[in-house]
Amino acid sequence: NSPEKWETELAGIPVTSPENSLISAPDTFCLCVLDPEREAQMRRQLEDIGFNGEIITPASLKIFDARTATMRLIAEQINASGVPGDVAELGVYRGDFAVLLNLAFSERRLHLFDTFDGFDERDIAAERENSYSGAKAGDFGDTAKDGVDKRLFFREKAVFHKGFFPDTFKGCEDLRFAFVSIDADLYAPTAAALPLFWDRLSAGGAIMIHDYNSTQFRGVRRAVDDFCSENRIVPMPVCDMHGSAVLRKPI
C-alpha cells in the first residue's frame, strides 16, 4: 500500500501493487499482520480488487508464540519461588492474554486495566506530536468487560479497573505485584504504568511489555527506554512477532 515501494525489492523479494499481484493468479494471500483492524482492512481491499481465493494469517498458521511461552516459564518460576503479589494487565482488549494469565497464576488476583472503549483521545496527542503511530481515538474499541469476564476460567480472581489509566490505578497504591503485562500500545499509558508497577513489584517479579520492538507503535520503546535509563534497568527482548521485552526486579 506504499506506492513508492512498488516495483522494488525487499530482501530480494519483489514488491508490487495489490492490483498487479493478481496478474499471476495466486491461489492464496497471506496477510502478515496481527491486529484485527488492519487484517479486516486488507481483506476488504483484496475483495474490492476481485480476489476470491484463500486468505491466511499468521494466527491461522499457528506460529509458535514466544511471548506466551516466556510468560508461562516466568510464571512457573515466580510461583515455585513464592514471589508474593498479585498479577496485573494494562491493555486487555478482548482478553486473549488475560485468559492465559488467569490460568498461569490461578491462585492470584488478576487486576485488569482497560478503557474497554478503545484508545482515549488524551493518549493520542503524544502519538501525533511525536509520530509514534497512526493510532486514533476509539481504535480497539470492539470489546467489552463482560465479554472478557466470561472467557476467564477463574473469574472469581479477576478485578476489573475500567476507565482511563492511570486514573484507574487509584486504590491500588498499597498493592504488591508479582507479574505485570503492559500492552497499552501507546506512549503515554506505558510511560505512566512503568513507575507505578515497578515501585510495587516484588523482588523476583517481572514486567512484560508488548510492542517494545514494534514498528507500528514506536512510542512503547521510547517509554521503556527512558524508564530503564533512569532506573539502570536492562530490558530483556523476547523474539515474538511484536518484539516484547521483560524487566525483572532484582532479589
Query: Which residues, in sequence order, are CB contacts of 44 under 8 Å at separation 6+?
Result: none
Model confidence at 64: pLDDT above 70: no
> Residue 61: what pLDDT?
67
pLDDT, tens digit (0-9, with 9 covering 90-100), for 128-167: 999 999 999 999 999 999 999 999 999 999 999 999 999 9
Model confidence at 58: pLDDT above 80: no
The percent of residues in the chain predicted with pLDDT above 70, rounded, is: 98
Over residues 77-86, mean pLDDT: 98
The percent of residues in the chain predicted with pLDDT above 90, rounded, is: 77
Model confidence at 63: pLDDT above 60: no
The per-residue pLDDT of the chain, averaged, comes to 93
Distance CA 135, CA 120 (A): 10
Q: In this structure, how many other beta carbons lie within 10 angstroms of the beta carbon of residue 135?
A: 21
Model confidence at 198: pLDDT above 80: yes
Closest Cα to residue 203, out of 117, 87, 24, 81?
A: 81
Model confidence at 107: pLDDT above 90: yes
Structural domains present in the chain: 3-61 (no CATH), 66-248 (3.40.50.150)
Cell numbers representing residue 156 in the block: 472469581
For residues 102 and 153, the answer to whether their CB atoms sit within 8 Å is: yes
Model confidence at 86: pLDDT above 90: yes
- pTM, to two decimals: 0.77
